[in-house]
Structure 1
């Protein structure tokens, strides 16, 4: 394979290693705070919840071992917070996310209600060095719903969205586990995203990492040669597979104005 050593060196540079212990420690502290404080916070608003009913589980890159170093910001981890909730009686997901935020208030944390999650960031010397995203899920009537909407989202821009976070975890793990070349390819494309969009200030311009991960899993092509895995050829072919799945819409001047893709 051409550039085999360069790919190997590059991969060692972008994969998370020594910072993992910090992510593990903060996650354990947050879980303890949620389990001990969230039931009381919800009770203030007439919602009964037992500590034993709260489920927390990793999702995203940390769960999949595809986390990368960040040259332009902080390292991160996604931890789902799920509990039984009547979403008919509690139809505004922004309020529920606010209750989760209030249960986590602490001098050493900065808390923000973002569209898909409650964001917990840790700042040192004036700069964020790590954050943990907490998507909030409600279990209701045999289904699971994600609380969508930022703190000040207007009518029509917040909702309870049906989801299957554990099913998605299982699907991705089945694809990735034991496939080192696929895991490397996912990290490569996530690094591309980081370099391409680190200056973007608009969330809708930035492709979500979970979306890129799913695309790579679905369209990955394994390539090996006489020297072992050929990551360069594999990555090129996999990206071509992804590009070919897009349905493009052009304006009258031949410029692309829309690019749709489905799974």
Structure 2
């Protein structure tokens, strides 16, 4: 079997956020927090003061560099590396002081507006601040009744106040990943795969990183090699989704099917099946270079095959022909 573990380790380094980008996200997050705090001191002095909590992939260490297609001012197409982090804004106090969902969205939007040259986006679940280099900060808003609530409620513009606790989720995942760090890499490989599919065909939407994280954790198959671990995990995911196409949230609200409303089931299952078939072929290959190309088909050029050997496993290769002496005996 062709071993592409080293190519996967290199791929993990390629798609992982650099220290520079992590520092940039932390700086942006801190500055936005300060801006929100200052705005509340000036414009809402009698309201509950906001608190903050980082969440999402930054807390799970599963963030990647997604690829996006953009058109510049001259109409030329180019690729822009996009990365982000989530920073929850929490209001903890008596329930009678809770405001309407849109009021909180308006307050946070007003506070961060003008921090960058790009206008913030008021999404259903958060306020998004965009930066010219492609990164962004999402600020979901939560309220907790200080007397009665064990878990926070998310301010959702369409659904109102919904029970949601991101802290429980990343603690759940980190506990699972602590058993085997390979799980973090498998999650990142799945996210990079979906990212490449979305880049190649943006007309349909692949599942979110949140969903992929749950599927990967529930179906994780460890191995000494990342290529085998990924193949076996893909197989387990495919088998389970064939029986029940769902993704049940493991934390508050426990049992919620976060795939409810997903419109591209057949499309995703076809992509997953194709990926799994290539993974099986790659594992069964005897030529490392050929195996690598089968993986690259689903990850794109970022999955480099430059270090893969173009020879059958077990076969010898010579830079020069072997020297045969006159006294060599025939077999």
Question: Which TM bucket (shorter chain)?
Answer: 0.7 to 0.9
Select the structure of larger CA radius of gyration. Answer: 2
1:171 is matched with: 172
2:190 is matched with: 189
How many Å separate the matches in 2 of 1:113 and 1:94?
A: 10
State whether residues 216 and 237 of structure 2, in contact with CA within 8 Å, keep that contact through their aligned partners in structure 1: yes
Task: Verify: 1:238 aligned to 2:233, yes or no.
Answer: yes
State whether residues 94 and 158 of structure 1, in contact with CA within 8 Å, keep that contact through their aligned partners in structure 2: no
Q: Secondary structure at the match of 1:167?
A: helix
Bigger shift: 2-11 or 185-194? 2-11
Bigger shift: 184-193 or 210-219? 210-219
Q: Deviations over 1:29-72 (max 9, x none)?
A: 111112221354445xxx6223xxx3211111111111111221
Q: Secondary structure at the match of 1:19?
A: helix
- Report the CA distance between 1:186 and its aligned residue: 0.8
Q: Secondary structure at the match of 1:160?
A: strand
1:104 is matched with: 112
1:5 is matched with: 6
Task: Verify: 1:71 aligned to 2:57, yes or no.
Answer: no
- Report the CA distance between 1:248 and its aligned residue: 5.9
Match of 2:144 among 139, 145, 162: 139
1:16 is matched with: 17
Task: Verify: 1:83 aligned to 2:95, yes or no.
Answer: no
Residues 63 and 4 of structure 1: CA distance in aligned 2, closer, same or farther (over 3 Å): same
How many Å separate the matches in 2 of 1:247 and 1:3?
A: 28
How many Å separate the matches in 2 of 1:116 and 1:177?
A: 29
Q: Secondary structure at the match of 1:48?
A: coil
- Report the CA distance between 1:28 and its aligned residue: 1.0
Residues 93 and 164 of structure 1: CA distance in aligned 2, closer, same or farther (over 3 Å): same
Given the two structures, how large is their TM-score scaled by the length of structure 2? 0.63
- Report the CA distance between 1:200 and its aligned residue: 2.8
How many Å separate the matches in 2 of 1:163 and 1:145?
A: 6
How many Å separate the matches in 1 of 2:44 and 2:34?
A: 16
Query: What is the Cα-based RMSD across aligned positions, in Å?
Result: 2.4
How many Å separate the matches in 1 of 2:234 and 2:101?
A: 37
Q: What is the number of residues matched between the two proteins?
A: 230
2:52 is matched with: 56
Given the two structures, how large is their TM-score scaled by the length of structure 1? 0.78
Unaligned runs of 5+ in 2: 69-80, 250-331
2:247 is matched with: 261
Q: Secondary structure at the match of 1:260?
A: coil
Q: Secondary structure at the match of 2:169?
A: helix
- Report the CA distance between 1:84 and its aligned residue: 2.2
Unaligned runs of 5+ in 1: 150-156, 225-229, 250-258
Structure number with the higher strand fraction is 1
Q: Deviations over 1:47-104 (max 9, x none)?
A: 6223xxx321111111111111122142111111111266677564122111111111
